[in-house]
Amino acid sequence: MIRVMIADDHHLVREGIRALLEKPRDIEVVGEAENGREVVGLAQTLKPDVLVMDISMPELNGIQALKSLYGRGLGIETVILSMHTDDVLVRKAVQYGAKCYLPKGAVFDELLFAIRAASRGAAYFSPAISQYLSGHSCATSAEDSGSEPNGLRLTPRELQVLQLISHGKTNNEMSAVLKISVKTVERHRTHLMAKLKARNLVELIRAAVKRNLIDLET
């Protein structure tokens, strides 16, 4: 069971997210916060697996709350769900440990996907944000979130492709979901095969599961 805490200063938004998250059997909403200071206090008390948080909140904003929680060893992974997707905020969120970043225009399935990815310690970024990460200085921090002590590093885009592969998506389907060309999808698949030392799809999935990069039950 993935224990989720929701943080947003709008009651209707929190209520809507809670209602949607009550449907999946593997998710339990354990608490809500309406400002950043409350986030810091409740997170330390409730210790959720995943924190779904907005950036714009009173008292402490989402970035300040992240910074306060960062390094406390609570084991909480964060999914940022915000209307703000500018370079500086994305960079700071990643810097202070956010695993996933989605715009508020994201569909519920994508939010659910991100929550499950974060619960496994994997990164997920919306296609537009992932493109930004691929070409800017905070990409290193994002890649580190998918790294292991043995030196394996997967970029946010590679993690997205890997997760979609685990869901049985074809190259054409992944191209449509991620809004990239089929050739680009194929290139990412090739990189994944090389990085995970897999000779075929079965070995790729097996290696990803072994490293806790994906969960076939989701």
CATH number at residue 212: 1.10.10.10
| pLDDT score, position 115 | 95
pLDDT at 149: 39
Do residues 8 and 116 both lie within one domain?
A: yes
Regarding whether 63 and 15 lie in a shared domain, the answer is yes
Tell me if the pTM is above 0.85. no
Q: Are residues 73 and 103 in the same domain?
A: yes
Q: Where are the alpha helices (DSSP H) in the chain?
A: 11-21, 36-46, 62-69, 87-95, 108-119, 127-135, 139-144, 156-166, 171-178, 182-195, 201-210
Q: Are 78 and 97 in contact (CB under 8 A)?
A: yes
What local confidence, expressed as pLDDT, does residue 16 receive? 96
With CA atoms as reference, report the closest residue to 159 among 202, 208, 86, 112: 208
Element (H, E) at 50: strand 50-53
71 and 24 inside one domain: yes
Radius of gyration, alpha carbons of the chain: 17
Using CA atoms in the order 95, 163, 103, 99, what is the torsion angle rounded to 10 degrees? -20
**Tally of domains within the chain:** 2
CA 72, CA 45: separation in Å to the nearest integer? 13
* Residue 74 forms part of a structural domain: yes
Give the residue from 153, 168, 167, 151 showing the smallest Cα distance to 122: 153
- Identify the pLDDT of residue 168: 86
Task: Tell whether 133 is covered by a domain.
Answer: no
Q: Is there a single domain that holds both residue 113 and residue 205? A: no
175 and 102 both lie in a single domain: no
**139 lies in some domain:** no
Bridge partners for 13 per DSSP: none
Q: Please tell me the distance from the alpha carbon of residue 104 to that of residue 151, in angstroms, as a whole number.
A: 34
Same domain, residue pair 14 and 100? yes
Please give the pLDDT value at position 159.
77
* 13/99 same-domain check: yes
- Structure confidence at residue 52 (pLDDT): 98
18 domain residue, yes or no: yes
Q: Which domain holds residue 6?
A: 1-126
**Claim to verify: residue 31 and residue 112 sit in the same structural domain:** yes
Question: Parallel, antiparallel, or unpaired: how do β-strands 98-103 and 77-82 relate?
Answer: parallel
β-partners of residue 33 are 7
d(CA 100, CA 93): 9
Residues 110 and 11 in one domain: yes
Segments in the chain below pLDDT 70: 128, 130-152, 156, 212, 214-218
Q: How high is the pLDDT of residue 169?
A: 86
pLDDT at 155: 74
CATH number at residue 44: 3.40.50.2300
Please give the pLDDT value at position 150.
45
